[in-house]
Each structure stands twice: as structure tokens, then as C-alpha cells.
Chains A and B, each alone.
Chain A
Amino acid sequence: MNAPTYNFAYLDEQTKRMIRRAILKAIAIPGYQVPFASREMPMPYGWGTGGVQVTAAILGPTDVLKVIDQGSDDTTNAISIRKFFAKTAGVTTTTSTEVATVIQTRHRIPEASLRAGQVLVYQVPIPEPLRYLEPRETETRRMHALAEYGLMHVKLYEDIARFGHIATAYAYPVKVNARYVMDPSPTPKFDNPKMDNCPALQLFGAGREKRIYAIPPYTSVVSLDFEDHPFTRYKFDAPCALCGAADSYLDEIVTDDKGSRMFVCSDTDYCEGRQAAGHRGSQAAAPHKEAAHD
């Protein structure tokens, strides 16, 4: 048979070594963006090529992989990446946060607590938190080298001056291990507290921008704020309409063309788990019966 065959987990071994070395340095210098020679992947930039390369470099045959996009296991991006690794690495995939050993994510951190031994891989579009404030890479490099982050505080202050509060709602900057200011990728700031002192290893891959960074387990991650305007995690007015959870991050779903809407958990695994356990929200239908994925 002459069908093309791929190396385990798609990437060639030299590429994996290069990415692996970058990951080790990223862990050793928490929050620092390590440049790496990002490869072209069989999917376009913006679809998670950074996260995919990190996952490909760490994945082994005994891993159990979960992929989420905006908290959901069921979106096109999540399904295609899960299938990609099921095909190229033959790994078991899951939608369960509990069971997974490697979780690749776009824009959310699962609601369920992560445990030691798990790895959370973030897909990152713009890794440089200072980029919109200072376009020159040479300058942002120097600002990180000197821990010169006044500009970021000015930006947050301008939010307060214009809106009366810090209006940044996602990609909310954090300081890692009291040293580097880091972009947590465009996760809602609701998720920021989950990064602090997390038992799992957190790896970040930006394919187009060619950067890898990391937060080791049990590392301090502090959202930037001011004494008189402390960081706040916003709270939703109503619980999830399907499972009744009052502690989760909710998505707004428009249900018709007359302005009707419902708010449901963005984390589908969390919501399904709660419904399976008998929790019901205001618009819950019959008990959840979706078949297992894959």
C-alpha cells in the first residue's frame, strides 16, 4: 500500500524535539514567551495550530485527550482536532474533564477542578499582552526583560477613567510567579482565578506568533488590578437554564428572531454531568440522553 503515512502524532521527530526543548524552558521561566519554529499544520492559523503542535509534542499512546472550544466538546474545531489526534496518534479521546490526561482548549478553562498529572494546553492567538500597547517586538521584549509593566496599568486605568471600572472582560492580563505579565489567551476573566495555584500543568501555544509559554503547577497567577479597583469575577444574574448551575460561565443562546434567549453553561461536559446527576434548570427538557462521542 502506498498511502501516505505519518509519524506518530503527525509531527516529525526533529520538530517534536525543538518544541519539547521550548516547553522545558517555558516551564523553567513561568510566563516567559519562548520563541519556537512553528510549523505549518494541516489546518489554518487561527484554528489552534499552536495548541496542536504542543499537544503533538507531548502526547503519548496512553494519554486520553479532550479538546474543547469555548468550553464545548461539540464544536467543529474541537471535533476536528480530536479526530486529528485519534487518527494520527491513535489516542483515546474523551469529553470528560475528569478522565482526560491532556486537555486542549480554546478560550475556556473547564469548570471541574483540574488535578495533578493533567496537562491543559491553550490555543493562543496573540501571546504578547503588551502588543496592542506597543507594536514593536524589540520594545516588548525589553519591557519584559526590565519588568516594565507601567503601560499595562495605564491601560487598565484608562478603562476606569472611561467606564468607571476595569472593562477588560477577556484576555485579562495576569502576573505569573510575581514576575512576568502574561496573556492568559482570550479566556473570559471569569476563568482567571482557576489559573492560580492550579495542580495541573498549563502550556500555551501560539502557532502564527511562534511562541510557547507555561505556568507550572502550584504557581501564583495574579490578575492585575488596583487597590481601590480590585479584580472582580463577574457573576451572572441567572443560573444555567439547562442544569441550574449558579457557579459556571454561561453562554447566551438566541432562540428565535423575537429576542428570546437562554443562558446555558459554556462547559458542555460540566452541564451534561450535572443534568445526568439530576440537576434541572428552568428550561431543561427530557433527561439528557446524548450518546458518547466518537
Chain B
Amino acid sequence: MEAMISDLLAGFPDAVLSAQSTFRAVMEAMARPGTIQRVAATVGVPSGLTRAAAALALTLFDHDTPVWLDPALATGPDVATWLKFHTGAPVVAETVRASFALIRDGGLLPDLESFALGSGEYPDRSTTLILQVASLGEGRAYELRGPGIDGAATLCTAIAPDDLFDRLAINEELFPRGIDVVLVHDDSMVAIPRTTRLVVAGG
């Protein structure tokens, strides 16, 4: 049975300004890879999503952006129903069609090459992964370099899959095609655009 509207969690309290502040956080994250940005807006969070993932969905998703949900999110009805009501984004089963992929269980992350990587002429037509991780700010240290980083940046995080950065090495081979990732935890986010390179992974 379809959920009643009254059962649905709220979206943003202020659709305009909450989306604006969340966008500035993700724009800053994308412009300064490795830095932790926070979502200031309050938002209804369906079970399975983190606050930052929910806020990003309301900020960036709409009828123009097919969304792929990982099995951990697709099995429960909450997330799909909430997304459909608040954003109108079509949920798709094929990873290659997705503008965005929401991933709760990174351990089951599909092969990155199964997502849209863009074309040489249009590398922007690629999937952005929104990956929920166990922590941002503590955990294993990763030293990153690339555009947006003054020298090197150190990101501490506990990520599944633990070989995520090894898998993201395809970004170097494929550039300008590639996958952009936003790691989210609670109300925090860190972006790893396709230009960011792992220098050293610490303990």
C-alpha cells in the first residue's frame, strides 16, 4: 500500500534557502577536495539515509536526474517514496542511467565502470556517487592532491569499500571521463572529484 502523505517525513523547512546553503556546502566541498563541509539546514531524514545525503538529494535531484539506490536503500520503501514525493526524481534499476547514485552499504558498491562515465565529448554526463561512510574526520588517513588542494590535503575517514581510492584510480586513466564521489556521514560531506589523486594511504 502506498504511504499516506501524512506519513511522509518533511523535506527542507525552507525549500529555497536550505537548498542554497546546502549547495554552497557541496560546491565548497567539490572546490576543495578533502575538506569537511557541513549541512546547516534541518531536513527530514528517511530511515537509511544520513542527514547530509538527504539534504543533497533535496538540493540536487529532480525529474531530470535519474537516481540509482543501492540494495540497502532500495529494499525499504521509505527512501524511494520520500524521494519521489519531494524531488520527483525517477529511481532507475540500471546504474549506467543514473545521474546520481545513493549508496548506504559501500561494501556492496558495484564496479565503478558500471556507472555512467560520460563520453570524451561530454564527460559531464556521468554519475555522481553519494556514498555514506562510517566516519569523516577520523579513521584511516589519506593524503590527496589535485585541483582545489593547496599542496596536499589529509582526509581521515573510515570508508567501505576500503579499496575505494584504488578503484578510483580509473579516473586517472579515463580523464576527462570519470566518476565524482561525495562521501557523507551524519551532517558532514567530503567531495572526491575525478581530478583528485591519492598520494599515500596511512594506517
Contacts and interface: CB of A to CB of B under 8 A. Distances in A.
- Do A and B make up one complex? yes
Interface of A: 7-8, 13-14, 16-18, 20-30, 32, 34-35, 57-61, 116, 141-142, 144-146, 177, 179-180, 199, 201, 215-219
Contacts of A216: 30-32, 147-148, 195
A8 B27 contact: no
A144 B121 CA distance: 7
Interface string B138-156: 0000000001111100000
Given A28-B193, A145-B120, A14 B62 contact: yes
A69 to B, nearest CB: 25
A29 B150 contact: no
Q: Main SS of the interface on chain B?
A: loop
B12 to A, nearest CB: 11
Contact of B148 (A35, A146, A180, A219): A219
B8 interface: no
Contacts of A179: 175-176
B84 interface: no
Contacts, number: 110
Interface stretch (B16-24, B43-51, B101-109, B161-169): B16-24
Contacts of A218: 147-151
Given A20-B23, A24-B26, A32 B124 contact: yes
A116 B32 CA distance: 10
B121 A141 contact: yes
A32 to B, nearest CB: 6
A27 B27 contact: yes
B120 A27 contact: no
Nearest to A214: B31
A16 B19 contact: yes
Contacts of B65: 21
Given A7-B16, A17-B60, A217-B32, A24 B128 contact: yes
Given A18-B64, A144-B121, 16 more contacts: A8-B16, A16-B23, A17-B61, A20-B23, A20-B27, A24-B128, A28-B30, A29-B123, A32-B176, A35-B124, A58-B24, A145-B176, A179-B176, A180-B176, A199-B150, A216-B147
B15 interface: yes
B88 to A, nearest CB: 10
B70 interface: no
Contacts of B175: 179
Contacts of A28: 30, 178, 180, 193-195
B59 interface: yes
A217 B148 contact: yes
Contacts of A24: 26-27, 30, 60, 128, 180
Given A24-B30, A60-B17, A32 B147 contact: no
A141 B121 CA distance: 5
Interface in B157-183: 175-176, 178, 180
Interface string B119-139: 111111010100000000000
A7 to B, nearest CB: 7
Contacts of B178: 28
Contacts of B64: 18
Given A28-B195, A32-B123, A60-B21, A17 B62 contact: yes
A8 B20 contact: yes
Contacts of B122: 35, 141
Contacts of B150: 199, 217-218
Nearest to B193: A28
A17 B121 contact: no
B183 to A, nearest CB: 14
A154 to B, nearest CB: 22
Nearest to B30: A27
B17 A61 contact: yes
A59 B27 CA distance: 12
Contacts of B60: 17, 20-21, 24
A14 B128 CA distance: 19
